[in-house]
């Protein structure tokens, strides 16, 4: 094995010298928002995606987006619930479920627009 000035090691396979490249494997799997961000970057910002992938900064970026999106979802849901309180769950379950689903959709739309697709 030989190395060049950038400390990349090579192994000889037949007549070729191939670099020994390894990617850091993620410790924790990505959640919904991290996967959405990764898909967005792959499809709409391929140069940025490939640069981050080769730098090794893609996975930390995706984890940061995931954590930020989750906390923003919780904060937004709490604010929306304060603004428009839900009906009584014991007496009208379907109205409560409808109301909570509506709030979740509003909060998720904000998170997707601000964090994922920007």
Q: Which of 21-25, 39-43, 70-74, 95-99 has the lowest mean pLDDT?
A: 21-25
Q: What is the pLDDT of residue 23?
A: 66
Q: Residue 6 pLDDT > 80, yes or no?
A: no
Q: Please choose, from the candidates 113, 114, 112, the residue with its C-alpha nearest in 3D space to the C-alpha of residue 35.
A: 112
Average pLDDT over residues 2-22: 78
8 Å CB contact between 116 and 36: yes
The Cα-based distances of 87 to 75, 79, 81, 99, 102 in angstroms read 20, 16, 11, 8, 13
């Amino acid at each position: 094995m030989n190395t060049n000035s950038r400390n990349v090691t090579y192994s000889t396979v037949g007549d070729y010298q191939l670099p020994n490249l390894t990617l850091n494997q993620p410790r924790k799997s990505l959640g919904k928002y991290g996967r959405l961000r990764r898909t967005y970057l792959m499809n709409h910002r391929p140069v940025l995606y490939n640069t981050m992938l080769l730098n090794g900064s893609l996975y930390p970026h995706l984890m940061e987006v995931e954590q930020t999106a989750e906390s923003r979802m919780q904060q937004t849901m709490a604010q929306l619930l304060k603004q428009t309180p839900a009906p009584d769950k014991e007496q009208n379950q379907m109205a409560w479920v409808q109301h909570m689903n509506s709030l979740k959709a509003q909060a998720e739309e904000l998170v997707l627009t601000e964090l994922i697709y920007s």
